[in-house]
Structure 1
């Protein structure tokens, strides 16, 4: 009876041992399991100020774009209003300057056109009168010769006196007409010279137009610079409200109402639950047969009776000790053999039970 019992116990032990060995051959098992999140940023205000409202606390679920907290916005509103006031004032100056520039430009253009037209017309009139004087001088020369010839004939008694007097009258009339034309030409010359002065003055007035254009350009540049300041002030005002960049749970709250915080000071830690995963620090001696896509079974310490199924998503090309804060120094020749651990990322199908920092046990199916 005793031998039978011993035999049964031995057989049971052998069966368990064979199954255990077979399981260890088919699976890589490790207790170095940690739940982590790919996205767990620390959120902060990008401007300084006093916290006036806090809407969320640790463990609260938030939607993307939901407001988490606010800081006092009055200083930023005042800065924005001051910039807008300057912009409005400069815009009013710009509008007045545009009206003045338009008026002055028209006046200068009309003045220049009028002076140019007057000088051209005056010059044409002068040329016309000079042409008439040329013709008149030809007529006067002819009458002078006729007058001298008739005078000789009159002295000899060959012609009546009346005929000579008729030529004399015409000759004197042409001389008077010549004097009148000469005077008109002189007056036109003076008028032409005055018109040239008007043209010069009109052209000189163009400098005033250029001056107004330069003033307008400077105003445009000032307004453009203030517009950029306004955009910056608007962004600062928007930054007085802290919003969630994605949906997730608040892991920690670092601020309270009444706190005076600086830009960049931590306010909340937010976890993106869609990025939760399990990291396994697997011994290098167990890497045989472990590849991307292998099935993995995880038991969390918090839920030992629940098996979570997943797959190997990534296998690190370096050991966990490579990026340690205090790496081992073996340059002195002292060296103790230590089994290195390779980080392996496992993506689970069901992440509802996962919490960052949880531990557990994993079994990875080998190929």
Structure 2
């Protein structure tokens, strides 16, 4: 019982005062360093025997290693060449083919009697595109021609009257000379009769007769002079009529020229070489003056490239350019810079930006650059709006 109680007390003491536990690993003995080094060496040797070295692996894959080294050298060389070469060029994908396309419209109205072209057809300058009914314009031309002939006849008539009036003027002048001679004779007769009466040798009756003849001769002389003046004035009237007739002839000729011009407008021709697109006119269509019949794309086309304003620093007219068309990537086209627009594209738009209003956010602007092509390919169809990628050498 005592021993049992003693054991119990001992257990209680041990329970109340437990011995400290030492979970840490025992410190290695410095004398065991040699053994540890030997173990590591042994382990490394085992690993080296299990895994080949890098040199051995490269030796085992000589072909792959050579290919990798060659590819690395090529990539480095290509990168250097690309960097040295690419910085001399400026390129953009915001570019397209441009042209001054226009609408072909009728100058005069009428029924379309014939259309000599079809969609997308290429025509040369002066080629007939469409024909408008000419009957009304032929009649107007003939009427104007008749008016010209009538005006010419009026001029000839006035010229004949002037010629006749010249004869009448000469006749009036002759009559005036005759009247002047008769007046002179009558004055002499009257003077002699007066002298005889004063001397007593003549009669009063004779004196009165000569005086009467003198007055009649004076009246005839005045009438003859007035006839000369009237005849000469009539020539002036006829010359004024002649000028009026000549003005009428000029007007008639102008009307004839306009009629012939309107007649020529019935034949619609191409002003320059190009292609017909969006053909809307058809035979039998009634068109009015100014109504569009088709669109026309001239052969004179170029590239409009919208470069960023930071890309045009060194861009100048005359610099060479290489152009790739998206639709035909196999065709390589060369050209040169023709001009750089003096201003961004938004300034000349329908609704230009107003930076003074609202909140301002700086945006890199685009500047249109015109690039002319040395020679367009002829085996493919190229027209305005097609996307291209130009590359301009600026350095």
Residue of structure 2 in register with 1:117 after alignment: 177
CA RMSD of aligned residues (A): 3.0
Quick one: structure 1 residues 181 and 32, their matched pair in 2 at CA, closer, same or farther if it must change by over 3 Å? same
CA distance in 1, matches of 2:82, 2:312: 18
Partner of residue 299 from structure 1, selected from 324, 329, 334: 324
Residue of structure 1 in register with 2:342 after alignment: 317
Structure having greater relative contact order (Cα 8 Å, sep ≥ 6): 1
1:71 Cα deviation (Å)?
A: 1.0
Quick one: structure 1 residues 63 and 128, their matched pair in 2 at CA, closer, same or farther if it must change by over 3 Å? same
1:110 Cα deviation (Å)?
A: 0.6
1:270 Cα deviation (Å)?
A: 2.9
CA distance in 2, matches of 1:27, 1:205: 91
Q: Which moved more, 1:126-135 or 1:306-315?
A: 126-135
CA contact (8 A) 1:115 1:195 kept: no
**What secondary structure does 2:303 align onto?**
strand
Residue of structure 1 in register with 2:376 after alignment: 351
Quick one: structure 1 residues 78 and 22, their matched pair in 2 at CA, closer, same or farther if it must change by over 3 Å? same
1:32 aligns with 2:117: no
Q: Which moved more, 1:217-226 or 1:302-311?
A: 217-226
Alignment of 1:104-183 (within 5 A): 104-111=165-172, 113-130=173-190, 132-133=192-193, 182=207
CA contact (8 A) 1:122 1:188 kept: no
CA distance in 2, matches of 1:240, 1:204: 54
**TM-score, structure 1 normalization:** 0.77
Gapped regions of structure 2 (runs ≥ 5):
1-57
Quick one: structure 1 residues 137 and 85, their matched pair in 2 at CA, closer, same or farther if it must change by over 3 Å? same
Residue of structure 2 in register with 1:362 after alignment: 390
CA distance in 2, matches of 1:270, 1:209: 60
1:265 aligns with 2:325: no
Question: What's the CA shift string for 1:112-146, capped at 9, x where partnerless?
Answer: x23321222113323443565577579x67xxxxx
Partner of residue 253 from structure 2, selected from 227, 233, 246: 227
CA distance in 1, matches of 2:219, 2:394: 108
CA distance in 2, matches of 1:181, 1:346: 114
**What secondary structure does 2:330 align onto?**
strand
Q: Which moved more, 1:4-13 or 1:115-124?
A: 4-13
Residue of structure 1 in register with 2:130 after alignment: 69
Quick one: structure 1 residues 19 and 220, their matched pair in 2 at CA, closer, same or farther if it must change by over 3 Å? same
Quick one: structure 1 residues 14 and 124, their matched pair in 2 at CA, closer, same or farther if it must change by over 3 Å? same
Gapped regions of structure 1 (runs ≥ 5):
142-173
Count of aligned positions: 329
